[in-house]
Amino acid sequence: MSETATVAVVPGDGIGHEVVPAALEVLDAVADIEFVHAEAGDAVAEQRGTPLPEGTLEAVSEADATLFGATGETSADVILPLRDAVDSFVNVRPARTYPGVDAVQPETDLVILRENTEGVYAGVENRLTEDVSTLTRLVTQSASRRLAEFACDYVESNGHDGFTVAHKNNVMRVTDGLFVDTVREEAAARGVDVDEAYMDAMATHLAMDPAGYDVIVCPNLAGDVLSDLAAGLVGGLGLLPSANIGSERGIFEPVHGCAPDIAGEGIANPSATILSAAMLLEFLGADGAARDVRAAVEATLADGPRTPDLGGTATTDAVAEAVVDRLPE
Ligand code: GGG
């Protein structure tokens, strides 16, 4: 990070207002960043008549990167347009286990590369009659190719053997047919190995033997669902970060939502958001700071205070302080 970066900060709803300040404490301790605070979500919709005020869209569009918290009922009107605003074509969702944290599948160490612009999340839904509603599943060759190019770059630069593409082209013959054909073609052109799996069968294999997967490339909805499944394997949604990567900008957010059941209690696990902040630092070129933050989170999970989702009684703030205490001097 050569000069002071500008980072938009959008807590969103619910526990977003607890985990984002926790991550800011950590970012403040490791980097010189100018924060621009903005609001979005259900509460804003009630107060201002729109869940995504113009100023927020502008702040995210202009910042070098954004730290986002969580969305609630207005998810489709908040996070989807924000991803569009930064031209985010892929959502990177790593899932791994941590020493000291109970995991259903301790061998899990994988990353999901989720298509981030289309599929059933393209927003083409209609209510035709009282009885009938429809949804158009959009799949383009250009978005599939862009994802595949990113996946090839990702496996090459991170030393992976190849990737597995998840799809359902036996049922969605045209849309997933185009998706998987394009991904296959791009990987072949780049000399990258590709395995294939039907996404439903992959869910079973993931639950039973996640060590069989390393990098997973998949359509939008499949990525959303499979990453929540992966969270369940490693100890819960409080541990999964994500990066919405665009050509020049990115939005970094925990995989979890706004958790209305615990919002306001100050006990949400901030690890996923702090790990998202580490991905943000890496995106901005601050690789050393990103490594320090990851190591401090790992050390805290190993022997530090824990929030109730991990069997402890600590508060969000106590975990954030423990992470800051474990950063190098
Ligand atoms: N921080 C992630 C979040 O708020 N997730 C809620 C949600 O429904 N997200 C939809 C999506 O990731 O596409």
- Atom 1 of ligand 1 has which residue's CA nearest to it? 70
**Measured from the CB, is residue 70 less than 6 Å from ligand 1?**
yes
Q: Give the C-alpha separation, 302 to 283, whole Å.
A: 26
**Measured from the CB, is residue 11 less than 6 Å from ligand 1?**
no
The pLDDT of 92-117, averaged and rounded, is 97
pLDDT at residue 2 above 80? no
- Atom 9 of ligand 1 has which residue's CA nearest to it? 75
What are the residue numbers of the active site? 121, 168, 200, 224, 228
Tell me, in angstroms, the distance from the centre of ligand 1 to residue 16's CA.
Answer: 11
pLDDT at residue 322 above 80? yes
**Measured from the CB, is residue 272 less than 6 Å from ligand 1?**
no
Say what the pLDDT of residue 175 is: 98
pLDDT 10s digits, 36-93: 999 999 999 999 999 999 999 999 999 999 999 999 999 999 999 999 999 999 999 9
Tell me, in angstroms, the distance from the centre of ligand 1 to residue 15's CA.
Answer: 13
**Measured from the CB, is residue 42 less than 6 Å from ligand 1?**
no
ipTM of this predicted structure: 0.92
DSSP one-letter string for 3-66: S-EEEEEEEESTTHHHHHHHHHHHHHHH--EEEEE---SHHHHHHHS-SS-HHHHHHHHHSSEE
Say what the pLDDT of residue 329 is: 85
pLDDT at residue 255 above 70? yes
Say what the pLDDT of residue 3 is: 77
DSSP one-letter string for 236-274: -GGG---EEE-SS-EEE--SS---TTTTTSS----HHHH
- Atom 4 of ligand 1 has which residue's CA nearest to it? 70
Tell me, in angstroms, the distance from the centre of ligand 1 to residue 80's CA.
Answer: 9
**Measured from the CB, is residue 257 less than 6 Å from ligand 1?**
yes
pTM of the model: 0.96
Which of 9, 17, 71, 91 most suits a substitution to test ligand 1, by most atoms within 8 Å of the C-beta? Answer: 71
